[in-house]
Amino acid sequence: MRNYWDYIKVEELLSLQGGFDNDESKLSNDEVVFIVVHQVYELWFKLILRELETARDLFRQNPVPDMKLANAATSLRRVVALFEQAVPHFRVMETLTTRDYLDFRDRLIPASGFQSAQMREIEILLGLDDTLRIPLGREGSYMAALRSSDGSPSAALARVEQRRQSGPSLKSVLYEWLARTPIDGPATQESADRFAKAFIAGHEKEIENRVRLAKQNALTADDITRLEERYRAEIRFAERFLRAEDEEGLDDEARAFRRRVRAAIVFLESYRELPRLAWPREVIDLVIAVEQQMIIWRQRHARMVERVIGRRTGTGGSAGVDYLDQTALRYRIFNDLWAVRTILLRKPSVPLLSHEDEYRFRVED
Ligand code: HEM
Ligand SMILES: N[C@@H](CC(=O)c1ccccc1NC=O)C(=O)O
């Protein structure tokens, strides 16, 4: 007969908290907390990976079936919810006082969360660029840290190597999809570049309005000059961004591709009320929510670490909290999605579209 314990595998699950010696009777409550919190995180990571892979596989199709965008949004919403639930778990770890943790910490060396294969898989599947990675203390690379202390391969290493070979990242398939967006007309380089030019003109119009308002509010001449200079700087940023002139080392084709991606993001964000743009915009907004939650995870982990071990060197050999704070600050994957928020225009200032009707739901006569 079917029962709970056979389906959830409760007895097997409850036998896994014995640490290196597989003997829970030898462990304090503190150490069992330490182990269980990690195991819960690894289960949340497992679910996050499944959903990210589902979303990545949807966007890997060309064309991406419009009817599937809602499914991608569902997967990404679940990833956000999983991270949102996982982040507060660090509160349980903080019931460990520094001295309690020191009772068993030395026995853990050189083990470290740096060897969490699933965290690396999440970074790889999202599309974290290896050139951004901050080297750990001892090992040359994060892959080296996944080897056993005698340098032999491990199940963790195999898992990450498998992930690295298991297809493109969510970032690369999402950007390919964005680059195929029909922007106010056909999905061509010309329509993307034409839209970008019109959008910059929208910024010019916005500035004229703001400067006129500034003059009406009788700000001093210096204030107005300062305001105008700041607005001009914003336009220059928007121009460099939309022309992809801020990226070094791109050949013409790669730069044109980046221009299409960035113009598409601006287009989706600026006209998201148009029915056929609503789901694409929802998806890119959820991708930002996913990355935001991952950054919060890194920062919350670092604050818990600081509360428990201060600024000691990590058991994995890193600078500890200093290393973790750097990863939270520097590891950014969807830069273009974040950057667009700096250059969007108020609704009245976005360019009028020539083919707006093409983005409404087609009502058959
Ligand atoms: C008392 C609890 C914890 C302490 C003191 C701690 C400390 C640290 C330190 C110092 C590092 C930097 C690498 C090193 O030198 O070891 C690190 C990395 C890491 N820890 Fe923790 N950690 C704790 C709990 C956790 C938990 C519960 C998780 C959940 C899975 C976790 C996941 C990670 C991950 C994924 C990394 C690698 C981060 C990166 O390289 O970006 N840690 N931890
Ligand atoms: N790096 C941690 C040790 C640690 O947290 C840890 C050790 C073994 C297994 C998982 C760990 N969790 C996260 O790094 C520390 O420096 O205290």
Residue 306 identity: E
Ligand nearest to the CA of 119: 1
Residue 119 beta carbon below 6 angstroms from any ligand 1 atom: yes
Residue ranges in 131-220 assigned as alpha helix (H): 155-164, 170-178, 189-216
Q: Note the pLDDT of residue 259.
A: 98
Ligand nearest to the CA of 326: 1
The pLDDT tens digits for 222-270 are 888 888 888 889 899 999 999 999 999 999 999 999 999 999 999 999 9
CA of 301 to the centre of ligand 1 (A): 7
Ligand nearest to the CA of 42: 1
Cis peptide before 153 (omega within 30 of 0): no
Average the pLDDT over 137-161 and give the result. 87
Residue 181 identity: T
Residue 279 to residue 285: CA distance in whole angstroms: 10
Question: Average pLDDT, whole number, for the chain?
Answer: 94
Residue 269 to residue 285: CA distance in whole angstroms: 9
Closest residue CA from atom 43 of ligand 1: 113
Closest residue CA from atom 25 of ligand 1: 113
Residue 315 beta carbon below 6 angstroms from any ligand 2 atom: yes
Residue ranges in the chain assigned as alpha helix (H): 4-8, 10-13, 29-59, 69-86, 90-93, 98-105, 117-126, 155-164, 170-178, 189-216, 221-242, 252-270, 275-309, 321-330, 335-339
pLDDT at residue 294 above 80? Answer: yes
CA atoms within 13 A on the CB side of 58: 20
Q: Note the pLDDT of residue 8.
A: 97
89 marked as part of a ligand binding site: no
Cβ atoms of 41 and 86 closer than 8 Å: yes
* Residue 88 burial by Cβ neighbours in a 10 Å radius (0-12, 13-18, 19+): exposed
pLDDT at residue 328 above 90? Answer: yes
Cβ atoms of 342 and 239 closer than 8 Å: no
Average the pLDDT over 75-81 and give the result. 98
Pocket test for ligand 1, best of 28, 305, 331 (most atoms within 8 A of CB): 305
**Residue 19 structure tokens:** 């640490």
Residue 109 beta carbon below 6 angstroms from any ligand 2 atom: no
301 marked as part of a ligand binding site: yes
Q: Note the pLDDT of residue 207.
A: 83
Residue 276 to residue 17: CA distance in whole angstroms: 50
Nearest to 87 by CA among 226, 257, 286, 295: 295
Buried residues in 261-279 as b, exposed as e (16+ CB within 10 A): bbbbbbbbbbbbebeebeb
36 marked as part of a ligand binding site: yes
Cβ atoms of 263 and 192 closer than 8 Å: yes
Residue 112 to residue 167: CA distance in whole angstroms: 28
Residue 305 beta carbon below 6 angstroms from any ligand 1 atom: yes
For residue 318, which atom of ligand 1 is closest to its CA?
Answer: 15
The pLDDT confidence band at residue 92, using thresholds 50, 70 and 90, is very high
Residue 101 beta carbon below 6 angstroms from any ligand 1 atom: yes
CA of 100 to the centre of ligand 2 (A): 14
CA of 45 to the centre of ligand 1 (A): 14
Strand ranges in the chain using DSSP code E only, listed in sequence order: none
